Amino acid sequence: MTPGARLQAVIDVLDTLGASDRPADAIVSAYFRQRRFIGAKDRTAIAEGVYAILRREARLRWWLERCGHAATPRALVIAHALVAESTTVVALRAHFSGGRHAPAPLDTGEVRVLESLATHTLEHPDMPEAVRLECPDWAEAALRAALPIGFAAELRALQAPAPLDLRVNTLKTSLTEAIAALHRDGILAEPTPWSPVGLRVAERRAVAATQAFRDGWIEIQDEGSQLVALVTDARPGHHVVDFCAGAGGKTLALAASMANRGRVIACDVLGRRLERAGERLRRAGVHNVSTRPLSHERDPWVKRHKAQFDRVLVDAPCTGVGTWRRNPDARWRRFGPGLEELTGLQAQIMESVSRLVKPGGRLVYATCSLLPAENQDRIAAFLTEHKDFQLLPMATVWADAVGTTLPFLDTPNTLMVTPHRHGTDGFFAAVLERRATL
């Protein structure tokens, strides 16, 4: 594809995204499925172009507003090429040639944008800090409160692309063997700093095409997500529920921790997501997992299985602030309930699933959010209403589950990892134990 054709593809994707309520990754995947003739290098360039603009959307919109131009997909592409990629005016005009597969020539308003932005860079001294940091209004106050010292650093880290992390499937192999297998396919990987079963790939590669992936030796999973599964401390012989299992990433990790002994039930209200977990379970050689679609968080199944489980993991639906590196469009486009509705749903889920935990068992609450309203506030509210549960110090949980000293000393009672401090997605986890007796 020519550079102009790639730009037109980016414009097409952004145009579809603006008219849809689906997230960017789904839009990009659908675009390529419908155009299988597009080669691998062009697919990579187009996807990177779309995500680069989404990561800089607030700043680009600020520039366009300053120019008096609407933030159309074409205008966003033009502004991005000029202020973020230092594309020359001559080259950009050539790309917008109106030729076969290329964007139509620039109109009068777009020419004014071109002339206005030709000498500028992405950031400007007059930009408000929230714009420079790509922080939406709805999250700014809460994030400033949650990150009184590291607000700017964490928001900068959330602008960058996430690394490619893998979890080694200990049911089939070891870290050393997995590293060697990936190396044979030309992929360099090294152990992650915190997870004892994690690998980080040096650059974005087609890991799913490797023999190690096809044989079920590795799974793609952010290190922060791995840590949540680890502190759940599911052991061989345990009965475990992964209540908001989704496509089964943490379910697989729990099964591996249990060495395929005991029982894991993966639940979700979206049955189709559970169906997608089936192939992953088979590839990983997991035999102790069953799936259970639920109608809602208070499904009668919960009542029927009261006090039967050693571990219940709730990876609760949340705003996903901690995953903005992977889902930059989630800053600006809400794909589900808002914060107030989510906190209510989180409370309802906790109230319901706590019934599943047997005396002496543990309820692990986790989110991929950095907002206190979804994390610390949820735990405090739950403990106020449920005197039969107690918060376990994370240092103790970590030592028992991982076998080392908790490296996150700033949060000794809960787990909180962030992109800037730990190089992971943002994750929170708290481990609550049901008292054997009151």
Residues involved in catalysis = 368
Kindly provide the b/e burial profile for residues 344-355, where b requires at least 16 CB atoms within 10 angstroms of the residue's own CB.
ebbbebbebbbb
For residue 185, which phi and psi values (nearest 5 degrees)? -95, 15
CA distances from 63 to 69, 76, 241, 329 (A): 9, 10, 49, 18
User: How far is residue 228's CA from residue 316's CA, in Å, rounded to a whole number?
Assistant: 12
Bridge-based pairing of strands 427-434 and 357-367 is: antiparallel
CA distances from 100 to 78, 88, 297 (A): 19, 22, 53
Strand partners for 427: 417
| E strand residue ranges, 269-414 | 289-293, 309-315, 357-367, 389-391
User: How far is residue 194's CA from residue 230's CA, in Å, rounded to a whole number?
Assistant: 11
CA distances from 385 to 141, 155, 361, 364, 382 (A): 27, 34, 18, 17, 5
What stretch of H or E contains 429?
Answer: strand 427-434
Helices within 217-299 (DSSP H only): 223-232, 249-257, 271-284
